[in-house]
Amino acid sequence: MALADARAIARAERDWARADALRARIDEAGWKVEDAGFSYALTPAAPPDLLEGAVPRYGSAASVPSVLDTPPTAAFTVVLLADTWPDDATRMIAGLRAHAPAGTQVVVVENAGSREQVARLEEGAPDVASVGGEAVEVVRTSVRLGRAAALNVGLRRARGSIVVIADTSVEATGDALTPLADVLADPSVALTGGFGATSPDMRRFHEAAGPDVDAIEGRWLAFRRDDLVRLGPLDERFVYYLNLDTWWSLVLRAGSDPDAEPRRAVRIPLPLERHAQRGASSLPDGERDRMSRRNFYLVLDRFRDRPDLLVSRRASPPADVRGDSSVPGASPDDAGERPA
pLDDT in tens, 122-143: 999 999 999 999 999 999 999 9
Domain that includes residue 192, residue range: 55-338
Confidence class for position 286, pLDDT limits 50, 70, 90: confident
Q: Are residues 160 and 33 in the same domain?
A: no
Res 28: pLDDT = 77
Higher-confidence residue: 340 or 32? 32
Does residue 298 surpass a pLDDT of 60?
Answer: yes
Rounded to 5 degrees, φ, ψ at 193 are 170, -175
- Report residue 281's pLDDT band, with 50, 70 and 90 as the boundaries: low
**Same structural domain, 183 and 325:** yes
- Shared domain for 251 and 328, answered yes or no, is yes
* pLDDT for the residue numbered 315: 52
Lowest-pLDDT range of 66-75, 290-299, 329-338: 329-338
What domain count does the chain have?
Answer: 2
pLDDT at 68: 98
The confidence score (pLDDT) of residue 43 equals: 76
290 shares a domain with 141: yes
Q: 12 and 62: one domain?
A: no
Question: What is the mean pLDDT of the segment spanning 139-152?
Answer: 96
At residue 337, the 3 state secondary structure works out as strand
Picking from 334, 199, 324, the residue whose alpha carbon sits closest to that of residue 253 is 199
Q: What is the CATH number of the domain that holds 199?
A: 3.90.550.10
49 within domain boundaries:
no
Has residue 327 got a pLDDT over 60? no
pLDDT at 279: 67
My answer on whether 20 and 75 are in the same domain is no
Statement to judge: residues 16 and 163 lie in one domain: no
Distance CA 159, CA 173 (A): 24
Q: Same domain for 250 and 330?
A: yes
Same domain, 23 and 157: no
115 found inside a domain: yes
If you count them, how many residues does the chain have? 340
On whether both 235 and 132 belong to a single domain, the answer is yes
Domain presence at residue 50: no
Tally of CB atoms within 10 A around 38: 11
